[in-house]
Amino acid sequence: MAGEKDESVDGGVVVEVKPNEPTDSVRESDQQQNGSYDREPVPERKSSYNGYSSVYNNGKKAEEAEQAEMQKMLPQDIEDMYRDLPLTKDTTCGFWMFKGPLLQRFANKKVYVFMYGVVGCIFSATYAYFNGTITTLEKRYKIPSKNTGIISVGNDISALLLSAILSYYAGKGHRPRWIAMGLLMITAFCWLTALPHLLYGPGEAALSLTTEYGATYDANQTLEVLEAQKAKTLCRTNATRGAECEKEEGNLAPQVVLFLAQFISGIGSSLYYTLGVSYMDDNIKKSKTPALVSVSYFLRMLGPAIGYALASYFLKLYISPSMTPTISNTDPRWLGAWWMGWIILGLVLAFFAIFIAMFPKQLPRAAARKRIAAEKQKLGMKLSEAADGGRREDELPASFKDMMKTFKRLLRNKILMLNNIASVFYFFGYMPYWIFTPKYIETQYKQSASTSSLVTGTVALVFSAVGVLLSGLVISKYKPRARYMAAWNVFVGVLSVMGMIAYAFLGCSASENSVIVNIPSQTDLTPTCNSACQCDYVKYSPVCGEDGNTYISACHAGCGTQSQLGDQKIYGDCSCIASVVNYTSPLFLQQLSSNATHTTWRSAIGQSPLAGGKALAGPCPMDCYREFVTFLIVMCFLKFSGATGRASNFLVSVRCVDERDKAVSMGFGMMVLSLMSFIPSPIFFGLVLDKTCLVWGKTCTGKGNCWLYDGETLRYLLNFIAAGFVLVGTLFDCGVWYYVKDLKIFDDEVKDKEIELAEKEEEAITDRPA
Which runs of consecutive H residues, i.e. helices, occur in 656-702? 662-673, 680-691
Determine the average pLDDT of the residues in 635-653.
90
Nearest CA among 408, 402, 415, 472 for reference residue 655: 415
How far is residue 314's CA from residue 340's CA, in Å, rounded to a whole number?
A: 7
How far is residue 265's CA from residue 186's CA, in Å, rounded to a whole number?
A: 5
Residue 601 in this model has a pLDDT that exceeds 60: no
Helix (H) or strand (E) holding 644: helix 625-655
How far is residue 259's CA from residue 130's CA, in Å, rounded to a whole number?
A: 12
Tens-place pLDDT, residues 705-742: 777 788 888 899 999 999 999 999 999 999 999 999 88
Helix (H) or strand (E) holding 615: strand 613-617
How far is residue 577's CA from residue 518's CA, in Å, rounded to a whole number?
A: 11
226 exposed, middle or buried (CB, 10 Å; 0-12, 13-18, 19+)?
A: middle
Residue 249 in this model has a pLDDT that exceeds 70: no
Confidence band of 381 (pLDDT split at 50, 70, 90): very low
Backbone angles phi, psi at 76, to 5 degrees: -65, -35
How far is residue 236's CA from residue 240's CA, in Å, rounded to a whole number?
A: 6
Residues in the chain: 770
Residue 210 in this model has a pLDDT that exceeds 90: no
Confidence band of 25 (pLDDT split at 50, 70, 90): very low
How far is residue 190's CA from residue 194's CA, in Å, rounded to a whole number?
A: 7
Nearest CA among 389, 490, 482, 494 for reference residue 739: 482
What integer pLDDT is reported at residue 339 of this predicted model? 93
Residue 610 in this model has a pLDDT that exceeds 50: no
Per-residue buried b or exposed e for 31-68, using 16+ beta carbons within 10 Å of the residue's own CB? bbbbeebebbbbbebebeeebbbbbbbbbeebeeebee
Residues 664, 171: contact at Cβ < 8 Å?
yes
Say how many Å lie between the first and final Cα of the chain, rounded: 33
Residue 20 in this model has a pLDDT that exceeds 70: no
Q: What is the DSSP letter of 704?
A: E
How far is residue 529's CA from residue 107's CA, in Å, rounded to a whole number?
A: 75
The domain spans of the chain are 106-238+250-371+401-508+624-764, 510-518+530-592+610-621
Determine the average pLDDT of the residues in 190-209.
88
Instruction: Name residues whose C-beta falls within 8 Å of residue 658's C-beta, 6 or more positions apart in sequence.
Output: 389, 390, 409
Per-residue buried b or exposed e for 635-670, using 16+ beta carbons within 10 Å of the residue's own CB? bbebbbbbbbbbbbbbbbbbbbbbbbbbbbbbbbbb
Instruction: Name residues whose C-beta falls within 8 Å of residue 404's C-beta, 6 or more positions apart in sequence.
Output: none
Indicate the residue type of 34: N
Residue 55 in this model has a pLDDT that exceeds 70: no
Residues 175, 667: contact at Cβ < 8 Å?
no
What integer pLDDT is reported at residue 157 of this predicted model? 92
Confidence band of 152 (pLDDT split at 50, 70, 90): confident
Measured in whole angstroms, the distance separating CA 309 from the mean position of its chain's CA atoms is 18
Tens-place pLDDT, residues 159-181: 989 889 989 888 888 899 999 99
Tens-place pLDDT, residues 488-499: 999 999 999 999
What integer pLDDT is reported at residue 673 of this predicted model? 92
Q: Provide the 3-class DSSP secondary structure of residue 283.
A: coil
Q: Provide the 3-class DSSP secondary structure of residue 564.
A: strand
How far is residue 255's CA from residue 193's CA, in Å, rounded to a whole number?
A: 10
Beta bridge partners of residue 21, listed in sequence order: 18
Which runs of consecutive H residues, i.e. helices, occur in 317-413? 340-357, 364-378, 385-388, 391-394, 400-411
Residue 66 in this model has a pLDDT that exceeds 50: no
Residues 82, 365: contact at Cβ < 8 Å?
yes
Mean pLDDT for the chain? 76
Task: Tell me how far CA of residue 276 lies from CA of 176, 302, 430, 562, in angstroms.
Answer: 7, 18, 25, 58
Indicate the residue type of 580: V
Confidence band of 439 (pLDDT split at 50, 70, 90): confident
What integer pLDDT is reported at residue 407 of this predicted model? 92
Residue 692 in this model has a pLDDT that exceeds 70: yes
Determine the average pLDDT of the residues in 94-104.
78
Determine the average pLDDT of the residues in 569-590.
70
Least confident of 19-23, 341-345, 563-567, 732-736: 19-23
Residue 370 in this model has a pLDDT that exceeds 80: no
Q: The pTM is what?
A: 0.75
How far is residue 741's CA from residue 483's CA, in Å, rounded to a whole number?
A: 6
Q: Provide the 3-class DSSP secondary structure of residue 98.
A: strand
Task: Tell me how far CA of residue 258 lies from CA of 311, 338, 579, in angstroms.
Answer: 17, 14, 52
Confidence band of 511 (pLDDT split at 50, 70, 90): low
Measured in whole angstroms, the distance separating CA 232 from the mean position of its chain's CA atoms is 39
What integer pLDDT is reported at residue 589 of this predicted model? 59
What integer pLDDT is reported at residue 606 of this predicted model? 46
Determine the average pLDDT of the residues in 637-645.
91
What integer pLDDT is reported at residue 611 of this predicted model? 57
Q: What percent of the chain has pLDDT over 70?
A: 69
Beta bridge partners of residue 170, listed in sequence order: none
The dihedral formed by the CA atoms of 57, 61, 67 and 72, expressed in degrees to the nearest 10 = -150
Confidence band of 125 (pLDDT split at 50, 70, 90): very high
What integer pLDDT is reported at residue 14 of this predicted model? 37
12 exposed, middle or buried (CB, 10 Å; 0-12, 13-18, 19+)?
A: exposed
What integer pLDDT is reported at residue 109 of this predicted model? 84
Q: What Rg value do the Cα atoms of the chain yield, rounded?
A: 33
Confidence band of 223 (pLDDT split at 50, 70, 90): low
CATH number for the domain formed by residue range(s) 106-238+250-371+401-508+624-764: 1.20.1250.20
What integer pLDDT is reported at residue 672 of this predicted model? 93
Q: What percent of the chain has pLDDT over 90?
A: 23
Full DSSP string of 201-248 = -S-HHHHTTBGGGT----HHHHHHHHHHHHHTTS---TTS--------
Strand order in the sheet with 561-565: 515-516, 550-551, 543-545, 613-617, 568-574, 561-565
Residue 219 in this model has a pLDDT that exceeds 60: no
What integer pLDDT is reported at residue 493 of this predicted model? 95
Q: Where are the beta strands (DSSP E) in 36-160?
A: 94-95, 98-99
Residues 215, 209: contact at Cβ < 8 Å?
yes
What integer pLDDT is reported at residue 298 of this predicted model? 87
